[in-house]
């Protein structure tokens, strides 16, 4: 084994001290850029500071310093050290983490995809599909929260795949996740340009693509703190809009709209609760799973969080995101809009003009609000585009730190930005310029999305397996769960069930790809829906060929459960837990319920 060298300060840090560091601090093993005599602060003037900020961050200690006997480190040891000592800047405050957890990836998957799902399977099918998906996501996030709270490492769950399962799994999942969000930026830019057509269809879409692209570029180049501030504003708008829509939906259903017409459960009886039978429900399972994509992104922020003390709370906020934003919206839409509404048939991945939210308000006879909803959709598009650059750049940076991508793609400047990774992602966003050519747009986006079409499901499945391997390693190495700042409320059984549900999603996608709705079996639809499976398998095989390593997993006794962990004073931690438990026990019943879920 290797022996990481620690500074005196690092060895003396307690969990409290580590998690209350300022936003300007870097990882405790990495010198702060501000301490360099050549840092931006040593110059006068904004221009010099900006230019200097793009220079390389202070180099990390050489890997040779971590080998106690001077031997060559193994690949997994290098991965653990590099990702634990990232040079990314810790600039995300608690308020950023909570908002990112609540609403960062709420976008066209909910605002538009829900309409396509309603038309495909009917209202009952939507409730069932999103219900099963919500269970899977909640269970998966519990295990992820346990690992992220203990290991705030670069790449988050991507690194956990390499660390707790095998580097080949980290390679396959990492590149597939990169591709998923790499394609998402141009897709969202196109969706934003189409949203504008609701108000003005005469102006060339490329004009608005350019405007939105420049906006995303500026935000992402300002640094992680400004990404957090932008997401805080974007998410706040989305949250207020969805809560407002739910309240409005209740009023309309009860007959409080301009026409005072009681709707009740009318559309659940006619045209009915289901459409297209089993095929419709299976198709909606896939749509629902994809709509939750990006929920796991909160773990990517752990390595850039100024304080990870509230990370478990942010992870648990996913419960409210599922219950209020998704289920609340689904029930309102399913009750206010019949699945036979022809306007829903225009729903595609980028056609936001067919949003069921807009249709519901139009059906309610309320004027003016459709424009507000479309404005919210536009903000959501910018939010998801912004988040996609963050996810892609941090994924590519983590892959570079793990030796799975060209070293130059992991370049981090003195402002703590993965500069080249950000630029690569933003440049590909210009692919959205094909927005004015509908034929090329549909064909190109369909196949690009197909390459990583199963990415979310594979990512969640890998998180479940990584958590199970982590717990197994803790057990085999006689380590106590009392060492962990947060323990998954659902335990290992939550990860077992989550893994089972995700495997079921893969089966549902296979079924829908083989037997598409309203079509006979054909090769085009099958590969469009299931191309992601052979891609990820080939990635796994390719890594093993490259490394000449055909082992499938790391043995539990060999898993490193120390490198990258937060420094915790176990006695202090246990005292805090005991005090918190006593406070909760003395609280009213409703407070205990709230604390359990939040």
pLDDT over 50 at 2, yes or no: no
| Rounded average pLDDT over 547-572 | 85
- For residues 463 and 295, is the Cβ–Cβ distance under 8 A? no
Q: What confidence score (pLDDT) does residue 31 get?
A: 40
Which of 2-6, 267-271, 345-349, 512-516 has the least mean pLDDT?
A: 2-6
pLDDT over 50 at 398, yes or no: yes
Q: What confidence score (pLDDT) does residue 33 get?
A: 41
Q: What confidence score (pLDDT) does residue 474 get?
A: 95
Look at 418 and 317; give whichever has higher pLDDT: 418
pLDDT tens-place string over residues 344-356? 865 555 455 568 8
- For residues 159 and 402, is the Cβ–Cβ distance under 8 A? yes
3 state DSSP class of 127: helix
Look at 258 and 164; give whichever has higher pLDDT: 164
Measured distance CA(79)–CA(75) in Å, rounded: 6
- For residues 7 and 35, is the Cβ–Cβ distance under 8 A? no
Residue with tokens 């922020």: 301
Look at 22 and 367; give whichever has higher pLDDT: 367
Report the 10 Å Cβ neighbour count for 503: 13
Which of 6-15, 139-148, 278-287, 293-302 has the least mean pLDDT?
A: 6-15
Q: Residue 163 has which token pair?
A: 């660390």
What is the percentage of the chain residues whose pLDDT exceeds 90?
30
Residue 421 binned pLDDT confidence (cut-offs 50, 70, 90): very high
Cα 518 from chain centre: 32
Vertex 162 angle, CA 160 and 168, to 5°: 145
Residue 5 binned pLDDT confidence (cut-offs 50, 70, 90): very low
Give, in order, the Cα–Cα distances in Å from 534 to each of 452, 453, 454, 551: 10, 11, 10, 20
| Rounded average pLDDT over 214-221 | 92
Q: What confidence score (pLDDT) does residue 367 get?
A: 83
Residues sharing a CB contact under 8 Å with residue 481, sequence separation 6 or more, in sequence order: 474, 487
Picking from 159, 158, 185, the residue whose alpha carbon sits closest to that of residue 173 is: 158
pLDDT tens-place string over residues 55-97? 887 777 777 667 666 677 888 888 888 888 888 888 888 888 8
Residue 4 binned pLDDT confidence (cut-offs 50, 70, 90): very low
Average pLDDT, the chain: 82
pLDDT over 50 at 391, yes or no: yes
Q: What confidence score (pLDDT) does residue 437 get?
A: 60
- For residues 402 and 177, is the Cβ–Cβ distance under 8 A? no
Look at 213 and 594; give whichever has higher pLDDT: 213
pLDDT tens-place string over residues 97-108? 878 877 776 777
| Rounded average pLDDT over 147-174 | 93
Picking from 258, 246, 229, 463, the residue whose alpha carbon sits closest to that of residue 333 is: 246
pLDDT tens-place string over residues 425-484? 999 988 877 655 655 555 666 677 777 778 889 999 999 999 999 999 999 999 988 888
Measured distance CA(399)–CA(396) in Å, rounded: 5
Q: What confidence score (pLDDT) does residue 499 get?
A: 96
Q: What confidence score (pLDDT) does residue 250 get?
A: 94
pLDDT over 80 at 23, yes or no: no
Q: What confidence score (pLDDT) does residue 163 get?
A: 94
Give, in order, the Cα–Cα distances in Å from 549 to each of 75, 162, 325, 537: 11, 14, 45, 15
Q: What confidence score (pLDDT) does residue 597 get?
A: 63
Look at 594 and 351; give whichever has higher pLDDT: 594
Chosen CATH of 88-567 out of 2.40.37.10, 3.40.50.1970, 3.30.450.40, 1.20.1740.10: 1.20.1740.10
């Amino acid at each position: 084994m290797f022996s990481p060298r620690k500074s005196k300060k690092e060895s003396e840090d307690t969990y409290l001290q580590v998690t209350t560091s300022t936003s300007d601090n870097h990882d405790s093993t990495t010198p702060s850029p501000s301490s360099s005599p050549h840092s931006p602060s040593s110059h006068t003037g904004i221009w010099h500071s900006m230019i200097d900020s793009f220079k390389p961050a202070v180099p990390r200690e050489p890997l040779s310093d971590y080998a106690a006997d001077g031997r060559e480190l193994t690949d997994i040891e290098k991965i653990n050290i590099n990702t634990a000592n990232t040079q990314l800047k810790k600039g995300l405050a608690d308020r950023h983490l909570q908002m990112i957890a609540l609403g960062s990836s709420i976008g066209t998957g909910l605002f538009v995809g829900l309409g396509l799902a309603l038309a495909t399977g009917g209202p009952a099918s939507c409730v069932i599909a999103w219900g099963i998906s919500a269970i899977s996501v909640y269970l998966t996030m519990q295990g992820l929260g346990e690992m992220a709270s203990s290991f705030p490492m670069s790449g988050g769950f991507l690194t956990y795949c390499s660390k707790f399962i095998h580097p080949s799994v980290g390679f396959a999942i990492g590149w597939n996740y990169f591709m998923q969000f790499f394609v998402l930026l141009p897709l969202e830019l196109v969706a934003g340009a189409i949203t504008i057509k609701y108000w003005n269809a005469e102006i060339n879409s490329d004009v608005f693509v350019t405007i939105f692209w420049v906006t995303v570029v500026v935000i992402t180049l300002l640094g992680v703190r400004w990404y957090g501030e932008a997401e805080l504003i974007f998410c706040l708008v989305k949250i207020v809009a969805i809560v407002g829509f739910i309240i409005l939906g209740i009023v309309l259903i009860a007959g409080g709209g301009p026409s005072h017409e009681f709707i009740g459960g009318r559309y659940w009886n006619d045209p009915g609760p289901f459409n297209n039978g089993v095929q419709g429900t299976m198709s909606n399972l896939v749509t629902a799973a994809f709509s939750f994509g990006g929920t796991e992104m909160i773990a990517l922020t752990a390595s850039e969080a100024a304080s990870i003390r509230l990370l478990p709370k942010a992870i648990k906020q996913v419960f409210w995101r599922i219950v209020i934003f998704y289920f609340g919206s689904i029930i309102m839409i399913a009750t206010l809009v019949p699945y036979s509404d022809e306007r829903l048939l225009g729903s595609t991945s980028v056609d936001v003009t067919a949003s069921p939210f807009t249709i519901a308000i139009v059906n309610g006879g309320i004027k003016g609000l459709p424009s507000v909803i479309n404005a919210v959709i536009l903000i959501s598009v910018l939010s998801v585009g912004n988040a996609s650059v963050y996810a892609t750049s941090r994924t590519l940076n983590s892959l570079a730190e793990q030796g799975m991508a060209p070293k130059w793609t992991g370049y981090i400047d003195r402002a703590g930005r993965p500069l080249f990774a950000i630029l690569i992602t933003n440049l590909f966003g210009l692919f959205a310029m094909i927005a004015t050519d509908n034929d090329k747009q549909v064909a190109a986006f369909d196949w690009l999305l197909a390459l990583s079409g199963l990415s979310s499901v594979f990512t969640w499945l890998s998180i479940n397996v990584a958590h199970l391997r982590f717990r197994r390693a803790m057990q085999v190495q006689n380590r106590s769960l009392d060492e962990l700042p947060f323990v998954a409320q659902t335990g290992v059984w939550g990860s077992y069930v989550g893994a089972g549900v995700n495997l079921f999603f893969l089966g549902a996608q296979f079924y829908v790809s083989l037997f598409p709705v309203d079509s006979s079996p054909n090769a085009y639809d099958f590969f469009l829906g299931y191309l992601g499976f052979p891609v990820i398998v080939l990635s796994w095989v390719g890594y093993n060929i490259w490394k000449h390593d055909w082992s499938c997993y790391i043995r539990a006794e060999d898993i490193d459960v120390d490198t990258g962990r937060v420094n915790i004073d176990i006695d202090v931690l246990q005292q805090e837990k005991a005090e918190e438990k006593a406070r909760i026990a003395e609280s009213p019943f409703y407070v205990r319920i709230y604390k359990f879920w939040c």
